[in-house]
Structures are given as C-alpha cells and as structure tokens.
Structure 1
C-alpha cells in the first residue's frame, strides 16, 4: 500500500509496458487463471478500461474516511486501486510469481477465496492498527493517512509462501543480505520503509499480520469453510459438462481426452505425462494434496495396474486421504477384499442396531422423566441427579438419531440426483452438531460420575440426611462438560482443518482432550464400584444370610452398576479391530452397539422401571384412579362423590408422608 496521491493520467506508460513484457515472457498460457485475471483486472482498472462508479481519489482507506465518515466501500475497493503505474508494476510483478506458485498448489477456487479474504482482512487490520496508533501516540496524522494498493495482500502471500516452501533453518537473500527465511518478510518490511519512505508501513504490517493469522490462526479455517460451501453449491459436474468446459482447451492429436471420473474433471493431457489436480473437499480427504492420473504413450489413460488400460482411465486418490483414514483403510484391507466387504456389511448392521437401541432408549427416557416429574413422592435428591443424567442422555440420543437419519436421507438422495443437502455435508453445521454431540457425551459421563459418587457416599458414610450441593453438581455435570468440549472444539478448528466435517476426529490425537477426562471418570467409577461391592459384602457378612445368597446379591449389584457407572464405555478407548478376523470385528461391533445405544434403556430399567419406589407410586396412582372411577359411577349424589374423593385424597397425603419418612432410611435396592 502507498499513501494516496492523485488518480493520475490513465495512459499506457513505461511501467505498464514493462509489466506486459513480463507477462509475455512468462507466457500467458502458463499463468493460472485466477492470477492472470487478478492482474488483468487491476491493469484495466488503472487504465480506465473498467470504469467503476468511483474515482481513485475515493478509493484510499483511512480511519477518517471509513470509521468517522462512514465510507465503508473503501474497505473493499482500496486494495485494487494503485497510486501510479510504477506502484502497479512492482505490485503485479511480485504478485505474479507468488500467485503462480500458490494457485498451482491450492487450486484456483481456493486461491480466489484466499485473495478475497486477504483483501478484506488487510483493510480491516489496517484500520485497527491506524486507530490504535492514533489513540496510543495521541497523533491524529495516523487517522488521516490514506493508503491504497495491493501490497498488503502481497505481504500476506509472502508469509504464506515462506511457510509452505521454506524448510526450517533455511536462509534467503534480500538485496544481497542473507537473512533467515522465517524473518525475511520482517526484514523486507523494514527495508522497504527505509528505501521508500512514502510506502505505508502500517499497510504492509497489516498484510504480515493477516498472513500470520492464516498460518497460525483462524483465517485458514474461514477460507476452508468458504471453499467447502462454494464447492457444495456449485453446479454438479458431469462428463458432458467436463467435455464442454475443456472444449476450447489447447491440445493435439494423440493426447488423452478430457474426462470426468465422477469426482474431478480432468483436462486433456499430453502422452507420457502425469496430471495433478487438487483433492476434492470431502470427509477424510485433505484438499491441499493432489490426485493423480497418468496418460500413456499412446494417448490412453492408464488403468490401476502399470500397463492396464481402462475406459476413462483410473484416478489415484491414495495421496488425498488424511493419515488417520489411510491407517483405517490399510487395516480394513489388510486381509482381502472379501473380508473388507463383510466387515462393511457388519458395520451397516451395527448402525441399524444402534438406531434401534437409540429409539428404545429415547422412549424409555421420556417415560422415566415424565414419571420423575409427575409424582411428588419421587422428588428427592437422588431423583434430581437421575433427572440430570437422563436429560444428558436424552440430548445425546436426540443428536445421534438426528445425525443418523440425516446421513440415511443424504445417502438415499445421492443415489438419485446427488444434490441433497443436509447436516452431514453442510460445512459449519456438521461441525456444530458434532460439537454438541461431544458436549452431551461428556455431560453424560460426568453425571454418571456424580451418580457413582453420590451412591458411594450414601453407602460408605453416614450422610443419609444430608442433601448434595446441586450448584456444585451442576457446575461439574454441565459446566465442566462445556469447558472441556469448548477447548477441544477450539483446537479442532485451528489444527484439524484438512478434512471436511472433522472426519476421523475420533482417531486423532486431539480427541484425547475430551476422551482423557472420560477415561478418568471411568477409572473413578470403577473405584466406586469396587468399594461399593466391598461395603455390600461387609454388610452381607453381618447379616444372617447364607454364603450363596451373599454372592448372588453382590453379583447382581455389580451387574446393575456396571452399565450405570459407564464401565462399558471402556471398549470405546480401543481402536476398532479392523485388521482382525471378520468374527472378532463382528463381535466387537455388535457388543459395542448394544452396550452403547441401549444405555438409556439400561439406566431407565435400573433407576425407574425396577425401582420399588417408582413402581409403588405408579401402582398407587392406578389404584386411586380406579377408586375415583368407581366412586364416580356408584355415587348418585355430587356431594357424596366430593366427600368420598376428599377422604381418598387425605389417605393419599398420609401415604405420601409415610413414603417420605421411609426415604430417609437407606436401602440396598438400587
């Protein structure tokens, strides 16, 4: 960027001629389309070939013109105007080499999005820095400095280029001086400010900060999201569309024809040449890597084998997968393709079993929550903990069912026209649902821990009349789960951007940010379980029961507490045995699906359906309703019916009072 000067004469001068000569020397056919279009547009804008609805005088950006006068269009247009032809020449020559390397590496669509994001970010950062300098130094000149030009974006691209192409510890030369590559952009900032005093130091500094924000901060995630959204809403590619797109491409007889492999559109390719295209932004795929195709000497696309030829050829996507997916694929196909197909069939059966289990759990939890909230006699401290646990499980069940149903609808739609949109393939929304799912899962684990802690405290200490501190319990159950999930989501957003919808998140190392605390919860609940069993055995020794009865009660309590306290979730800590036999994988999949998806049913059965207090409340309510119906049918007098119902109500209140007194006495019935 440079401070604003007049718009100047819009005529072809020496700088424009030298820029054109530079472009012709490189070769217009070698310059990627977005880079070439960006240079051509700025040259046309400078020469008034493109006549925008503003003057160059109105394009420069400053705190005074934007923040105080409210001319916000300058945030968008200041980057693409230039003060004079030499300003244009130096910026475009510098951009030419950076654009060629980055666009070939990133792909045209992503590079265009990158330029748009960098342009707006540089303008916003410039305003922030100028406003900060004005307030800090109490100098109004910073707010009046009006900058213009593309050099802020170029400095951001320099940071990105050094990050991608410079190995650690390498040096580069800047005006004959050797400087470390990582500090080259900072040295260039100081050098330009010394040699060209009229250059905008704040504008160039803003570009460096934007480049660092992309390299180490959130801008890369923003660019990736925009790239996925634009790719998702682009017109569906077909073979006819691919051929039409490359109809005017320069190619010769004997070349491999343009083709569409159902994912990517491949251009005509010279014989004995390997063609590269950026990987598609799919789940489990890194869009920064490249898919490969090879054109044989006779102008036919090569097949999967080295000398095999196929109609349409074969595309090598093996380099596109992220490391976690590569590992899973290698394990899945470690034995044979037939075994891999059988394992995939088992996985589909496991998914159906999961949906059945989640549906059953959903119905059971809804019934239990209704019973706990409806009957006043069940409102005690233990039941309040149950309600929190059931609510967390209900949220998790609803989210999982929503995602599974969405995936089924999308996959069914893909077989028709491929244009179905849903949670599973919508960037941003998909990640949000997975964050909510992990939050609900963490909350479930923590409330399981509080269930175990409360049960352990009840059996091992004489605190039956003490009420738990539900403020602390809520902070642990809900607050801590939000904290853990937020930390994990931030790390995933910044460090796990190479694949769509965080595919493979459960096998990445970042998953241990939330999986580690869950493992500690399981370990704590295991300790609670062992000590509870010790207490139960001790109490049974003090009773007059025989040894067989003691063992039966201890085993029954252990079997009830095992799914309750989340010990079964320890199976999730191990990777799926994809490299083992079909039988082993099938047992693992089915057992995990049953234990995990039916968890709501297990806890409902233990804490609600088999609970004596709940059963007594339901039986009593049914008995009262039966008596009321009998009174309403047999008593002709309205006054007598009201009196009878009042007596029945007094009897119910007395029964509830007796039940409340009984609740203060500990029971071994879970």
Structure 2
C-alpha cells in the first residue's frame, strides 16, 4: 500500500506543473491517466502472451510505474522510460533499471522496497526548479486575490447596508450602486466557493488506481462545475452592472434617457438578465463538446468566446462612454459654462469616470493576450494585473460610491448626531 501510494504521488502530483486554480492540472492529469491505463493494458497483454523463461529467473510484473519482463537471475534489466510521463519527449532515450538477484528475486532496498533506478526518467532539475518557482508565484497571486476579494467583500457588505439604511439615499442612482455592490459581493463569494470546490476536487488523497478514475469521473466534478457556472454568471453580471453605471452616467450628463425611476426595471434586466443570454449557451456547449473536469480548461477557444465576447463588448462601450463624457465636460469648461451641471452631477461624474477606465483598461489591453496564447513573464504580468484589479476593485467601488460620497457622509453625520442627542436625553432623564 505504501509503495502504491508513493508511486501515484509521483504520477499524479509531480507532473502537475501549473497552479490548481487555473485547472490546467486537470487536463494534464486526465491525459496522463489515460496514457497510464493504456501502458498498463499493454503490459498485461505482454505478460499473458510472452513465453516464460527457462531456469531461474525473476517474474514479470507491473509495479504501477513500469512494466518488467522476465529476467534471468543475476542480470540488470533496462527498459525504456514509460511513455505516459508528461515529460516523456525529454527522456525518451532514457531507461529505468531493476536488478534480478542470483536467487531469482528482484533486488530490494533496506526498507524492503524493490530497488529501482528511474533517475534517467525524471525531469531535468533546472526545468523542475523553474516550474516550482512558477507554482510559488501563482500561489502568491492567489493569496493576493484572496485578500483582495475578502477586503472587497467586507467593505461592500458595509457599504450596501449603509446605502439601503437611509431613506433619503433611495433613488435610481443609488439603487444601481446597490446592485453593483451586490454583484461584486456575489462575485467574490462565487470565486472563493469555486476555489474551495476545486481544492476539494483535487485535494483528495490518492491511494489506488480507482481513486484517480473516481477523481476524473463526471460525478466527482459536478460540484466544481456548478461553482464554475455560478462564478461565470456573477462575473458577467458584475460587468453588466458596471455597464449600467456607465449608461446611467451618460444619460444624466448627455442624453437624458433611462434616468427616471420607472426605467429602473430596464437596468435590472440589463444587469441580471443579460448574463443568462451567454452563460446558458456556454453551459450547453460545455455539456455537449467539452464535458471534462470542472469546465475550466478551454480546449476550443471558440467556445470560450461565448463568455469572453460580452465582457469585452461591455468594456469597449464603457471606454467609449468614458471618452465621450470627458470630451463633453472639457468642452463645457472651456466654454466657461460650469453651471450647466449641478454639483451632484459633477461628483457623480468624478466617481464614475474614476472607475470606468480602471474597469476597462486591463480587458482592452489584454484583449488578445489570453492565457492560452501567453507564457513566461508576459503571462505572469497579465495574471497579476487582472487578478489584482478584479479582486480589489470592489473595495475601491465601495470607497468611491459610498464612503467618499458627500451625501452618504452627511447622512451618517446626521444619524450620529441624532444618536448622540438621544443618548444625552437618556442620560439627563436618569
């Protein structure tokens, strides 16, 4: 049992060279396991068909790692490195060794395990150290975005309670803010839950071959698939509530449409309804075409664009609105007519204009630099930039739209003053 456990740790853990949260490991594990099963079946066929040696010899065997033929007593057996190894192309000329003792038994080590020299079949130390460095870097990135989402979650929950607690703050603009906060909250929760489900899926201890096949089964992946779909929906909803913020700002400052309270339902449909138009067909395509693991590996990028394209569309439109509003504001300022816009509109423009470029730039800059088409330092920069902005963006939204808002500050001061007055009255009565 110890030998099996150790060998599977080699097969199923050492070659997982990319971080779990990107789920490339699932693709590597599935492909390697498929080749390992083929290698094992070939070995079993060979052991049944090959004639036995005469005299004293060590018996043919499959030790989970390699397939060994009958060997005459007192000889060294060399066989090619197993073809299922993910790095097989680099070690195709190498061999793995066993020694058959003079007594016709495979030679063992002091601990009782059968001796085996597989040094020629192991990955190069330099490559292995680079991959280890990359894994550590990805773990650091994950820590950063986990901290960012946790901080955003706390600040957004607080901001949502504050915004909905005061009757004077209840208007279409703040309702849109509140839905944006909620989309950020649900996005953060979905990301954290998805990571937990992925860790649970890939964190199972491998003890025997059936554990690997069970891990790769559709039943075992249902939980993380649901978490993946939920996360994609809330990510899209978050993007389209930002789109709603941009449209509302454009309506207030330029077009004067979709501003009235009776238009609020249209924003609800845009923010919560639009993502369903893209997530639903993506789920269908995944079920029919790429029903593998946790649905995080995009073998066919055309399917991934079902989710990717609406995000980029919203980002591009937001960016165009940003440029248009800047042009209008600068034109009015140069014309010396600042009274055209009331103070609250200028404050609204200031807060939203701060967020729109922050939201859209990283999507536009890396529009064609997908994870599948980037590598090395470029990929590291893209991953860090995207994860950092996405995770801490909710915190920035809560600050600008709530805590730094003068109307909110005035309401909080008024409420604190009321509480203080009530406390003084109670003290005086006592």
- The TM-score with structure 2 as length reference comes to 0.67
Q: Secondary structure at 1:501's aligned position in 2?
A: coil
Residues 314, 399 of structure 1: alpha-carbon distance in 2 compared, 3 angstrom cutoff = farther
Q: After superposition, give the CA deviation of every residue in 1:393-452 in whole Å (9 maximum; x if it has no partner).
A: 211110111122344466666499989989999222221111111111111111111110
2:143 aligned partner: 352
Deviation by residue 1:3-61 (Cα, 9 ceiling, x = unmatched): xxxxxxxxxxxxxxxxxxxxxxxxxxxxxxxxxxxxxxxxxxxxxxxxxxxxxxxxxxx
Note the alpha carbon deviations across 1:538-568, whole angstroms, 9 max, x for none. 23224489xxxxxxx9997686133565443
CA RMSD of superposed structures (Å): 4.2
Q: What's the CA shift for 1:379?
A: 0.5
Match of 2:253 among 459, 483, 491: 459
Counterpart in the other structure of 2:161: 370
Structure 2: how far apart are the matches of 1:458 and 1:592?
A: 30
Q: 1:471: Cα distance to partner? A: 2.3
CA distance in structure 2 between the partners assigned to 1:394 and 1:554 by the alignment: 22
Residues 601/267 of structure 1: CA separation in 2 closer, same or farther (3 Å cut): same
Q: Secondary structure at the match of 1:309?
A: strand
Structure 1: distance between partners of 2:299 and 2:185? 22
Q: How many residue pairs are counted as aligned between the two chains? A: 340
Task: Give unmatched runs, 5+ long, in structure 2.
Answer: 1-29, 82-90, 98-115, 339-346
Matching residue within 80, 87, 91 for 1:302? 80
Partner of 1:260: 64
The residue that corresponds to 2:280 in the other structure is: 486
Q: TM-score, normalised by structure 1?
A: 0.45
Distance 1:313 1:520, change over 3 A: same
Deviations 1:117-152 (Å, cap 9, x if unpaired)? xxxxxxxxxxxxxxxxxxxxxxxxxxxxxxxxxxxx
> Superposed, which structure 2 residues align to 1:64-463 within 5 Å?
250=48, 252-253=52-53, 257-261=61-65, 300-303=78-81, 304-310=91-97, 311=116, 337-408=128-199, 414=205, 426-462=220-256
Equivalent of 1:601, from 395, 404, 426?
Answer: 395
User: Is this contact kept in 2: 1:256–1:269, CA < 8 A?
Assistant: yes
Deviation at 1:571, TM superposition (A): 5.0
Instruction: Give the one of 571, 575, 583 matched to 2:370.
Output: 575
Q: Distance in 1 between matches of 2:329 and 2:348?
A: 7
Which sections of structure 1, spanning at least 5 residues, go unmatched?
1-227, 232-236, 272-296, 317-332, 546-552, 637-670
Larger Rg: 1
The structural deviation recorded for 1:528 is 0.6
Shift of 1:312: 7.3
SS at match of 1:502: coil
Report if the CA contact (8 A) 2:96-2:120 is conserved.
no
CA contact (8 A) 1:364 1:604 kept: yes
The answer to whether the Cα contact below 8 Å between 1:350 and 1:590 also exists between their aligned partners in 2 is: yes
**CA 1:477–1:464 in 2, change beyond 3 Å: closer, same or farther?**
closer
Q: Does the C-alpha gap of structure 1 residues 435 and 340 become closer, same or farther in structure 2, counting only changes over 3 Å?
A: same
